[in-house]
Amino acid sequence: MQETRLNTARIRAARRLIDPVFLDTPLYRCEALEPVLGCAVSIKLETANPVRSFKGRGTEVVANLLADNVGSVGSVGSVGSAGSAGNAETANNAAKGPQSVVCASAGNLGQALAWSGRGRGLDVTVVASRFATAAKLDRIRALDATLELVDGDHEMARERAAAIARHDGMRLVEDSLDIETCEGAATIGLELVDTAPSFDTVLIALGGGALATGVGHVMKALAPEVEVVCVQPQGAPAMTLSWHSRRIVTTDSTDTIADGVAGRYPIPAVLDDLLVVADDAVLVQEASIITGMRMLLEHAGLVVEPSAALGIAAILEDRGRFAGRHVVTIVCGGNVDMDAYHRWVGR
């Protein structure tokens, strides 16, 4: 395959840095969904862990490197290889003063970084939109992180986090750009490949691209026969439009309940990787996302956030394409405001 920024050996090494609570997540057929969807459906469940999303895989890698490199300052991507020893040395950090790190987040990355950082004595600051999901912000606060809200969307939070990093000399963690966030997500791909029986297609929520490029890289490297399909909401289509036009396309706004994937400014290096590993990128309507959430509740007993229903939404909108195939959908997060959730699913 054509090269990407990712490397399968580094992804395998990253696995060893991740708390096992985030690894080897459930992967199982959900036959109750299949009569409606018309294809075999397996679920890769990333919500049954302390932060209720897959983001812990990446933040564990990031935080391990930071805890190992408390003396230097720079971007996370440069601080060391993913294969370096992964023992968090809290006592060592304390002696040098706590390492400080900042990220922008729609909520799940921030929660995960707060969790990973807390266990390693890192000072974590999260910048988020004040319109972000309240349940996510509450958990970030509960995990002892500093939370700063901006009066704008996720792209404004990204700008603010970068400014804080520059001004205060903190490390900036940039989702999807920092390779460790992609490598952490990519460990899901290793688990998919290692588990029989094989499947035909993997459906991946597409936001910044860490999940899609990470899992996609592993698929193309180790199971190239599996179709990699990325799914994004029509209301936040920047990366999908970019993939189809093979150049960066930005949008002026987003309009989707899928808060976890609602970016406007795709990162060029991530698009380059996505062009290598994705077989397709599709857009789905809000109504399909909501139907997908409702189906996962009623037929699978899963409470998921909108981004985690994108795969089911893609099947609903193109049943013919997937008919008779075996599809894996990554249920990537379950952090929702319960009032909004019940409004969406109609209960």
Range in contact with its own copies (rule: CB under 8 A) among 17-25, 150-158, 239-247, 311-319: 17-25
Instruction: Please identify, using beta-carbon distances, which residue of 199 and 243 lies nearer to its own copies.
Output: 199
- In 3D space, the residue among 217, 188, 344, 191 whose CA is nearest the CA of residue 275 turns out to be 217
* Binding of residue 198 to its own copies (CB under 8 A): no
Residue 338 CB, nearest distance to its own copies (Å)?
5
Looking at residue 214, its amino acid is G
Q: Which of 134, 222, 269, 303 binds its own copies (CB under 8 A)?
A: 303
**Cβ at position 315, least distance to its own copies in Å:** 19
- Identify the burial level of 92 via C-beta atoms within 10 angstroms of its C-beta, where 0-12 means exposed, 13-18 middle and 19 or more buried: middle
CB of 218 to its own copies, least distance (A): 20
Phi and psi dihedrals of 275, rounded to 5? -65, -25
**Identity of the amino acid at 239:** M
User: Among 169, 197, 301, 320, which residue interacts with its own copies (rule: CB under 8 A)?
Assistant: 301
Q: Least separation, in Å, of the C-beta of 259 and its own copies?
A: 15
Integer angstrom CA distances of residue 162 from 222, 228, 296: 36, 32, 37
Rule CB under 8 A: which of 136-195 touch its own copies?
139, 142-143
User: Counting contacts by CB under 8 A, is residue 39 touching its own copies?
Assistant: no
Residue 335 engages its own copies in binding (rule: CB under 8 A): yes
Name the minimum Å distance from CB 148 to its own copies. 22
The full DSSP string for 135-151 is HHHHHHHHTT-EEEEES
Please name the amino acid found at residue 125: T
Site string for its own copies, 257-296 (x = CB under 8 A): ----------------------------------------
8 A C-beta contact, residue 104 and residue 156: no
Distance CA 239, CA 228 (A): 15
Torsion, CA 180, CA 211, CA 137, CA 339, rounded to 10: -170
Shortest Cβ distance from residue 133 to its own copies (Å)?
13
Interaction between residue 31 and its own copies (CB under 8 A): yes
Beta sheet of 40-45, edge-to-edge order = 27-29, 40-45, 326-331, 201-205, 227-233, 280-284
x/- track of binding to its own copies for residues 48-87 (CB under 8 A): xxx-x-----------------------------------
Binding residues vs its own copies (CB under 8 A): 21, 24-32, 43, 45, 47-50, 52, 139, 142-143, 297-298, 301-303, 334-336, 338, 342, 347
